[in-house]
Amino acid sequence: MAAIADDAKDVLDRHGSHIPEDRKFEVLCVLAKAENQRPKTYEKLVASLRNGADHETFMEEVDRQKAVVRYFAGPKAAELAQQYQDNFQKPGNAVAMEAAHRQVASSGYRPSDERHIPEIQTALAAYRRDVNDPSVLDRGDKGDDVQLLQQALQREGKSLKDDGGFGAGTERLLTDFQREHRLAPTGFGDHATLKALGLAPSLDAKSGAALDRMIGSLQAGGRFSEPQIAHIAESSRNHLLEHRAALGEVTHIQLRNDGQKILFLNDFKQMRELDTQQALNGYVPDRPLVEAPVTGPTPATERTAEAVRH
């Protein structure tokens, strides 16, 4: 990816004289994304710069390409680039972003491993906190989900009230738990932390089997790359968990013939849809996915006990 970014930067340096300085980073991200994802689209974008396109004209060409190339993510790259730049410039985030950069730039980095790299998760956490990610439990939240989180921390030996209010004390003890279990010390209840505490919900057997069949079908079809299939699978799982009260057990999950939607059907022929592009970008639930644990030790406690035994 470094070579691709260098190529895009060279193009921008040579032909981007009409692009304002405060927009060049955005244009660079779009160019790099296009060269990596859609070389023919990249050629058209480069041609627009060679023809003297300013920022507005360039982005109009990006939108035209988005209209004819279904999965071209240039506009999304532009949006994320601006958010990224804004976050990087915030003093409180700079250290986390730099640490994440070092990990991504290392020779052994693999995108599929990013969930297990604390530096990257910490940087993502800084971003999510700034955009008020609704899928995590964070300071200031109140209610039953927070109370379940506090009770789970109590079972881990933490001393706090389970009053359902996510305050400074809960944040501090949750951060301690994350450090103890080699999770990103974000101080809020993301999926990895809720899972370690035994609070992350799981799919019922039928829905899980339906998801596995859909993944197998996508792998056999050759329409999507493995990373894209992984994004679709994770997004579909989150969508199922968020809407399982309405859908119940899902028996069929399939890509619509035109590829634009993922369809979820239950035994009663009730159906929900998820936009495929939204799934590829990463579906974010509108609320934290929290479930009261079954009785017994949490996954984190079980791992600790296993380590002691060995």
What integer pLDDT is reported at residue 187 of this predicted model? 82
Cβ burial, residue 102 (10 Å; 0-12/13-18/19+): exposed
CA atoms in the 13 A half-sphere facing the CB of 141? 24
Q: How confident is the model at residue 85, as a pLDDT?
A: 63
- Tell me if residue 253 falls in helix, strand or coil: strand
User: pTM for the whole thing?
Assistant: 0.56
**Calpha distance 9→134 (Å, rounded):** 35
Question: In terms of Cα–Cα distance, which of 275, 278, 250 is closest to 264?
Answer: 250
Tell the burial category of 112 from Cβ atoms under 10 Å away from its Cβ (0-12, 13-18, 19+): exposed
pLDDT at 27: 82
Identify the residue whose tokens are 């006990």. Answer: 305
How far apart are alpha carbons 51 and 164 in whole angstroms?
A: 59
Kindly report, as residue ranges, where domains of CATH 1.10.101.10 are found in the chain: 134-197
Any bridge partners for residue 142, and if so which? 165
Contact assessment for residue 141 and residue 259, using Cβ atoms and an 8 Å cutoff: no
Amino acid at 70: R
- How many angstroms separate the Cα of 179 from the Cα of each of 173, 176, 187? 10, 5, 10
Tokens at 162, concatenated: 């389970």
Q: What burial letters (b/e) apply to 126-165, b meaning 16+ CB within 10 Å? A: bbbbeeebebbbbeebeeebbbbbbbbbeebebebeeebb
All residues at 6 or more sequence positions from 216 whose CB lies less than 8 Å from its CB, including other chains: none
Predicted local confidence at residue 305, as pLDDT: 45
Q: pLDDT digit of tens for each residue in the chain (310 aa)?
A: 334 444 777 888 889 889 887 777 778 778 877 776 677 888 889 999 999 999 889 988 888 877 776 555 555 555 556 656 666 666 556 677 777 767 766 777 665 666 677 777 777 666 555 555 678 888 888 999 999 999 999 999 999 999 999 998 998 999 899 889 988 777 888 888 999 999 989 899 999 999 999 999 999 998 898 888 988 999 999 999 999 888 899 999 999 999 999 999 998 888 999 999 889 888 878 888 898 886 555 555 555 444 444 4
| Torsion angle, alpha carbons of 165, 167, 171, 173, to 10 | -80
On whether the CB atoms of residues 278 and 261 are closer than 8 A, the answer is no
C-alpha distance from residue 23 to each of 32, 86, 106, 217, 263 (Å): 15, 12, 28, 41, 38
Q: What is the pLDDT of residue 126?
A: 64
Tokens describing residue 281: 């970008």
Residues whose CB falls within 8 Å of the CB of residue 245, separated by 6 or more in sequence, listed in order: none
pLDDT reported for residue 113: 66
Identify the bridge partners of residue 265 per DSSP, sorted by sequence position: 252, 271
pLDDT of amino acid 298:
55
Residue 249: predicted pLDDT: 93
| DSSP letter string, 45-90 | HHHHHHTT--HHHHHHHHHHHHHHSTT--HHHHHHHHHHHHHHHTS
User: What pLDDT sits at residue 307?
Assistant: 46
Q: How many CB atoms lie within 10 A of CB 211?
A: 19
| H or E element at residue 274 | strand 271-275
Architecture of the domain delimited by 134-197:
Orthogonal Bundle (1.10)
